[in-house]
Amino acid sequence: IVGDITHSRVARSNMEILNKLGAEVYFSGPEYWYDHAFDKYGKFLPIDELVEEVDVMMLLRVQHERHAGDAHEGDFSASDYHKQYGINEERYALLKPDTIIMHPGPINRGVELADSLVEAPKSAFVAQMENGVFMRMAMLEAVLRGRKLGGLE
């Protein structure tokens, strides 16, 4: 999970469920956007230590609106973020053949992911968003009908 982990509901829900399901979870991004309370769910590492190892790279949207006025606002530029933490052509080339890139959307093109890679074969976020609708429908139906969700109540 790469990006603004502290402010992301997506990161929080994924780290919890992935941990329960036994996945190895890694975090990356600016360290000032990471809360070490999340260490119980996974390990924080530089992105370049992860790209060759992971099966799924989940990118998070840089939430510019949440950083206005924070202590690190002056440290941020979209191009610097992309160079340091984004998936660019070089990092993409290092991903394992079957690795997929996920993103909850909307994507800041050229920030989290190079514009040229938005429709690349490993970019799975269009299917992720489409399938997310059906998953939420199924979970809501199960909850409303009082069914258990595979031990994940």
Q: What are phi and psi of 14, to 5 degrees?
A: -70, -40
In this predicted model, what pLDDT tens digit does every residue of 27-37 receive, in sequence order?
999 998 999 99
The answer to whether the bond into 46 is cis (omega within 30° of 0) is no
* 26-31 contacts, C-beta under 8 A, 24 or more apart: 26/1, 26/50, 26/54, 27/1, 27/2, 28/1, 28/2, 28/85, 29/2, 29/3, 29/4, 29/5, 29/60, 29/85, 30/4, 30/72, 30/75, 30/76, 30/81, 30/84, 30/85
Mean pLDDT along residues 77-104: 95
pLDDT of residue 132: 85
In this predicted model, what pLDDT tens digit does every residue of 47-81 receive, in sequence order?
999 999 999 999 999 876 555 556 555 666 888 99
In this predicted model, what pLDDT tens digit does every residue of 105-140 receive, in sequence order?
888 899 999 999 999 999 998 888 889 889 889 889
Alpha-carbon distance of 108 to 72, in angstroms, equals 19
Alpha-carbon distance of 57 to 150, in angstroms, equals 25
Percent helix, strand, coil in the chain, to 5, is: 45, 10, 45
pLDDT of residue 78: 84
For 9-123, CATH number out of 3.40.50.300, 3.40.800.20, 1.10.10.410, 3.40.50.1370 equals 3.40.50.1370
In this predicted model, which residue has the larger pLDDT, 9 or 147?
9
Q: Which amino acid is at 116?
A: S
The pTM (predicted TM-score) of the whole model is 0.82
Dihedral, 119, 13, 51, 37 alpha carbons, nearest 10 = 150
Mean pLDDT along residues 90-96: 98
DSSP tag of 59: B
Q: Is the pLDDT of residue 87 over 90?
A: yes
